[in-house]
Amino acid sequence: MWTSSIPVPESEHFTIHQLAEGVFAAIATPLGAAYSNAGIIDLGDRTLVFDTFDTPAAARDLRTAAESLTGRMVTYVVISHVHSDHWMGNQVFPSSTIILSTHKIRAGMPEWGDEMLEHQQDPSEYKDYVRESEDRLAVEKDPSWQTTLKRSIRRARYQLQSLPELELRYPDQTFEGNLVFHGSQRWVELRAFGQGHSESDLVLLLPEQGIAFIGDLGFFSTQPFLPYGQLGAWKKHLLFFEASDFKTFVPGHGTIGTKADLALQRRYFEVLEQQVAAVIQAGGSAQDALKIELPAPFDAWLAGGMGRLEANVNYLYTKLSEEA
């Protein structure tokens, strides 16, 4: 791994990992306000940030980190997909920073943004959620669920804190296909993959360094979230990267990984599909499907996201029932 003498900025919300000269991943800490991962690329003459986290508080530290690592203001912010946990920090960047996404990502953003404005008007749903989760944590005996609940409560508390200051900022420029930034030191490609984890997934590629920032196409050592995507297309995207020359993958959630992590994530999809299909074949209900127990190593992935397994099982039960 490339190392340098640049002092690494510290934040309670993320840790900075240098992947190559001028290429940094910002990986969310389990109890911070980032919730998702981001990237910082020094093009040599311009600075590019990939995704802006779940809250303005975490994004402020990201902006500071990007400015101190590259010695200049952020020129571009790129948004990987429509889910609000990847762009609620947009507002902390100055109007001189150009925010980019695909046409489709931007078109879908108001639906997510309006929901956040509704919470801003009436935060009772978050407050109820925190109260109910704390009640559950008080009686929960399973250590894995305790961890999940603690993280989930922290996230909801951070979101509650951020609501009063929240201002929606949408991309200034949109595109489809691909877009290449030719910097004075290095170049990066943005590539729209279409449907996968979401309706439109955008990745950032550094072919010369073998590094790919793949947004939520990647969930490493944590449960992926299926219901908003198109599973068949998603698997194809993972296979594309497994067959590629890329070596280092920065996922939207979880730790920095390799092709082995992509393969393991595909295995998670297969295992869950097989388990839900078996329940359907045996005439079981959606309730029965929720009793599924994930085998190792996927059982340890539960701590990453509250409610993701339940949502995935319900999604697959409906999808596979319709296909049967």
Options 68-76, 184-192, 208-216, 300-308: segment touching Zn ion (CB under 5 A): 208-216
Least CB distance to Zn ion at residue 255 (A): 17
Least CB distance to Zn ion at residue 228 (A): 7
CB nearer to Zn ion: pick between 83 and 104: 83
DSSP string, 140-178: ---HHHHHHHHHHHHHHHHHHHHGGG------SEEESSE
Report the C-alpha gap between 78 and 102 in whole angstroms. Answer: 9
The residues in 6-25 that bind Zn ion, with binding defined as CB under 5 A, are: none
Least CB distance to Zn ion at residue 81 (A): 6
Least CB distance to Zn ion at residue 80 (A): 8
Q: How is residue 225 written in tokens?
A: 């979230």
Total number of residues that touch Zn ion (CB under 5 A):
2
Site string for Zn ion, 79-98 (x = CB under 5 A): ----x---------------
Amino acid at 266: R
Q: How is residue 48 written in tokens?
A: 């590019």
CB nearer to Zn ion: pick between 280 and 309: 309
Q: What angle do CA 19, 24, 26 make, to 5 degrees?
A: 120
CB nearer to Zn ion: pick between 216 and 261: 216
DSSP string, 25-81: EEEEPTTSS--S-EEEEE-SSSEEEE---SSHHHHHHHHHHHHHHHSS---EEE--S
Q: Is 51 in the site for Zn ion (CB under 5 A)?
A: no
Nearest residue to 261 via CA among 247, 244, 275:
247
Q: How is residue 40 written in tokens?
A: 């910082």
Least CB distance to Zn ion at residue 198 (A): 6
Options 94-102, 156-164, 186-194, 212-220: segment touching Zn ion (CB under 5 A): 212-220
CB nearer to Zn ion: pick between 32 and 218: 218
Among 60, 216, 289, 302, binds Zn ion (CB under 5 A): 216
**Contact call for residues 183 and 50 (beta carbons, < 8 A):** no
CB nearer to Zn ion: pick between 9 and 108: 108
Q: How far is CA 194 from CA 55, 183, 200, in A?
A: 26, 26, 4
Options 113-121, 206-214, 215-223, 240-248: segment touching Zn ion (CB under 5 A): 215-223
Least CB distance to Zn ion at residue 201 (A): 9
Q: How far is CA 170 from CA 162, 194, 204, in A?
A: 18, 19, 19
CB nearer to Zn ion: pick between 11 and 37: 37
Q: How is residue 23 written in tokens?
A: 């290429």
Binding residues for Zn ion (CB under 5 A): 83, 216
